[in-house]
Chains A and B, each alone.
Chain A
């Protein structure tokens, strides 16, 4: 479980996060949604420590991340996995080497053990053996995302973070990535936080949804509640796609 309390973050005098307080539960896919520039990426990067917060606390299972020494943070980071928007695979390494990289850095496993684990993780994200020796530039965007997920889970993390995992992907591949992240979250009992503005993802895997607007918490709920939420800004965000307005109207019609 990850808990954030009164998170405040500013850049050059402009306050981007204005006192965010919430909890992200274990074994659930927790989604942070909001318009571009609403502060969701800053929130995610603050939670993982890529941005230092000005005020507030971040707890990883009651361990206060904001007050940890660098050494303690480094140890905690070995319990994290992150999938970046562009995949962030290392260009100079092959697919297999990318996934093996965290194991090379932090474990004393034998080459055979590493090979087995890497093959398992790549198989888990449906990457075929033929692609193992290819470089990231030689595989598609969807495959890059899946390799990034494999790399993120190779050390059995307790916490998984995904920044816009579906950006640049077609709707079908997006669904594959969404269900993959959801299944892994349940199977490995991870605390997963996904930063997205993709409403399809919200409706598919939103166990818990945090809507951010102008750096403030706008709404908290789940995928079955979001269509009925009485929040003007959230409605504008959700119903920007008419499909969801029609879906809500149809459901309300059925119930009445």
Chain B
């Protein structure tokens, strides 16, 4: 029953979010500011995480492939496919659910408990659309770019660490990265980033929009939002993998 209550309220909120905006100009302005706040400000984190993860995956693959019958270039290939298929889409989605998702819940939740959302409603502004739509569009738009940035820097991380510790030569690593490349993996993951981007923005927005109480409840809503988003990302990862791969 609890699930149906939340699902119903979530889809009702989405209907309100996607209704016609009052002023397109103001929404466009807000969209750019959200792209900057939620997307551009996340690039640094994505770069750092991806470099380290690319390096770590390369090392893990190298340690597990110490077999003379397995060619070394498979280390590069392993890193590439892990990044393209799962890390840069799913794992990054889980990480960003923490950063972007908690940001969205706490921002909207604070506005709710300080009556700023009521204030928008009294003015005749569709508060759901005004606050949430630019965030959803911004995150869905920026996520594929973050994915590409993550894959790129993950490969750089592997390139730095693999040859750096002597697990593989740079030439073998680059050979592996280019070996048997399947573009379908990228398009499949790009589809996932759109879905995850939508989840990472809309689920936390839902929890923030309906929070009741004070600072403690906003904190609790943030935690709930991140946990729920993570679970839904994993469920959708499973569904999309089964459907598209």
Contacts and interface: CB of A to CB of B under 8 A. Distances in A.
Interface of A: 48-50, 73-78, 80-82, 84-86, 88-91, 101-102, 104-106, 161
B174 interface: no
A90 B116 contact: yes
Interface of B: 22-23, 26, 110-111, 114-116, 118-119, 121-126
B123 A77 contact: yes
Contact of B124 (A77, A84, A85, A86): A77
Contact of B115 (A74, A81, A84, A104): A84
A104 B27 CA distance: 11
Contacts of A49: 121
Contacts of B23: 104-105
25 contacts: A50-B118, A50-B121, A50-B122, A73-B124, A74-B124, A75-B124, A77-B121, A77-B122, A77-B123, A78-B123, A80-B123, A82-B122, A84-B115, A84-B118, A88-B115, A90-B116, A90-B119, A91-B111, A91-B114, A102-B123, A105-B22, A105-B123, A105-B124, A106-B123, A161-B122
Given A105-B23, A105-B26, A88 B116 contact: yes
A80 B122 contact: yes
| Majority secondary structure, A binding face | mixed
Contact of A84 (B110, B119, B125, B126): B119
B111, B122, B124, most chain A CB atoms within 10 A: B122
A85 B119 CA distance: 11
A86 B122 contact: no
Contacts of A78: 123-124
B85 to A, nearest CB: 38
Contacts of A50: 118, 121-122
B7 to A, nearest CB: 21
A48 B22 CA distance: 20
Contacts of A75: 124
Q: Could you say which of B110, B125, B126 has the most chain A C-beta atoms within 10 Å of its C-beta?
A: B125
A147 B129 CA distance: 25
Contacts of B26: 104-105
Given A91-B116, A102-B123, A105-B23, 18 more contacts: A48-B122, A75-B124, A77-B121, A77-B123, A77-B124, A80-B122, A82-B118, A84-B115, A84-B119, A86-B115, A88-B116, A88-B118, A90-B119, A91-B110, A91-B111, A91-B114, A104-B23, A105-B124
